[in-house]
Structure 1
């Protein structure tokens, strides 16, 4: 896949809504993402179901820090109210904040190039980014077997 194959929607500056979430905090080698993500997602769904609080939509990842070899992030779902702590599942929140936002269309293998295109836009538009970032997997393998249908919302909080 080349950079020219990457499709992102026109980026915008938006304000996100404050939302309750249920999360599992993970710090893993980047190479383990594909092995850890699915089981942790299943663990979250099982716990939310046990608490009578089905997820409100699809999974997200809130990357707290980015480094070349490690992902330090919270994997989560938006919830209607705070969840009870149970094992690795903890209550969290998606804050109300100003953020740069775009939507990437395509398979997860294209996410690094999508982020590169998004960051290029932010730099060209003098958008000052915070350290963290959010990926919301709105349409993915959970809802379509065709990667061409997949949509990932990319959020980059802005410095105040």
Structure 2
């Protein structure tokens, strides 16, 4: 289920600890969890985060491939640690909503969300990101998971 979509919002860049991942879609479940633990661990060890929800910043949606960064917001300068590098949630003009439901429904939620954005006359931008507001750490019921969807626009 999608919440009402926002009007266009101008965001500011936010520093983050990130891991860049490019994998076939069917491998996302194997790589996402370890990457999340790795970025949280690096930010925590360095005392600079996390300072907000875990996110996945996607660089377009290529069929069959996920090209994205998984990360957490931070409040200081990150020293690279293994795969973890300094990155950011970008400054952009976006439209936002929140999806409530299991992660398996995110693909359909994104499609519905993007259709609503285009129906309002906006042109989709090249990137998007999700912030995982509440998930398995908060509930055993996937129907209660909340994921913020952020789509860049080119207006």
What's 2:5 paired with? 11
Q: How far does residue 40 in structure 1 lie from its aligned partner after superposition? A: 0.8
Give the whole-Å Cα distance in 2 for the aligned partners of 1:82 and 1:140: 28
Length-normalised TM-score, structure 1? 0.91
Gaps of 5+ in 1: 1-6
| Residue 149 (structure 2) aligned to one of 137, 143, 154 | 154
Q: Deviation above 6 Å: which 4+ runs of structure 1?
A: none
Determine the C-alpha separation between the residues in 2 that align with 1:38 and 1:68. Answer: 22
Aligned residue runs from structure 1 range 5-154, under 5 A: 7-12=1-6, 13-154=8-149
TM-score (norm: length of structure 2) = 0.93
Q: Is the 8 A contact 1:59 1:75 kept in 2?
A: yes
Superposition RMSD in Å: 1.3
**Does the aligned pair in 2 maintain the 1:62–1:74 contact within 8 Å?**
yes
SS of 1:85's partner is coil
